Amino acid sequence: MLSRKRGRTLKIGVVAGTPIDVKFGIEFLENKGYTVEAIAISRNPLEQTVFQTLTSEKREIELISVLEKYDDCDMFLFYCNSLSSTVDVHKISEILKKEIITPLGAYSEIRTDKNVAIIAANAQSLAMIESIIYQSTPCRTICMSNLAIVEAIENKNEPDQIIIDYGIDVYLDMCNRHGVDKFILGCTHFDYLEENIQKYVNNKGYQIEIITPKKFMYSRIKEIVSNNEGKVKW
């Protein structure tokens, strides 16, 4: 499904709910040396959440109409858990005849017999992530979603202050008391908080692994490109 015109650099369309998480995805891939195109579906977190509550038909029609404008992209990276959770990615991929990578595959690789914590932007993505985990590993989940955290990140509030203001520190303390060994950042906006959350966990001496899907998505991109070497004209 991967194709590219002779003499042109591979281009990945970074698709996300708002310009801010698109920016995080752009920075992630540019640091890996890829050529990218920014594609934001909505202007802000609330608008994106409203989009996600449309009927599945309306969501797919709107999303496809946006992505069709970027035919020069060789594949798409959906750098957004919420968006990925509310559309039929396989169907859209088939219609556009392009590979689409999402964060969701990362959660099927989680293995633990302890508790897993999930923090997400909204209930749509939270439910999808939880469902994927339950199909993969026998565990209990302790979950939290709060769109206000995403809005605080978009406002560029200080990460440590966000952790305090929205009770993420209290949530981490509770997770530790209840035997959580994996803490999933189930929103790509939360890349902004990752380093500070890790520092909090380390300072407390908690044995909790902080999980983001970035490594999985990068591995999938490399796998797709590698599998198509010699099959397409680079």
Determine the distance from the C-alpha atom of residue 9 to the mean position of all C-alpha atoms in its chain, rounded to a whole number.
25
Closest CA to 80 of 66, 69, 94: 66
**For 6-12, what is the mean pLDDT?**
73
In this structure, the number of other CB atoms found within 10 A of the CB of residue 30 comes to 12
- pLDDT for the residue numbered 2: 61
Does residue 220 share a domain with residue 190? no
Give the phi and the psi of residue 229 in degrees, each rounded to 5: -60, 130
Q: To the nearest whole percent, how much of the chain has pLDDT over 70?
A: 94
- pLDDT for the residue numbered 234: 34
- pLDDT for the residue numbered 216: 94
Per-residue pLDDT tens digits for 140-189:
999 999 999 999 999 999 999 999 999 999 999 999 999 999 999 999 99
Residue-range definition of the domain harbouring residue 143? 106-213
Does residue 111 share a domain with residue 74? no
How many CA atoms does the CB half-sphere of 158 hold within 13 Å?
4
CATH number at residue 188: 3.40.50.1860
On whether residue 145 sits in a domain, the answer given is: yes
Q: What is the pTM assigned to this prediction? A: 0.89
Q: Which residue has the tokens 């999933």?
A: 184
Q: Identify which has the larger pLDDT, 161 or 2.
A: 161
On whether residue 3 sits in a domain, the answer given is: no
Per-residue pLDDT tens digits for 35-72:
999 999 999 988 988 998 899 999 999 999 999 999 99
**DSSP code at position 24:** H
pLDDT at residue 202 above 90?
A: yes
On whether residue 77 sits in a domain, the answer given is: yes
Does residue 145 share a domain with residue 78? no
Token pair of 15 as six digits: 């698709």
Token pair of 229 as six digits: 């070497």
**pLDDT band with cut points at 50, 70 and 90 for residue 231:** very low
**For 185-202, what is the mean pLDDT?**
96
Please give the tally of structural domains in the chain.
2
- pLDDT for the residue numbered 228: 72
- pLDDT for the residue numbered 53: 87
On whether residue 96 sits in a domain, the answer given is: yes
Separation of alpha carbons 202 and 67, rounded Å: 41
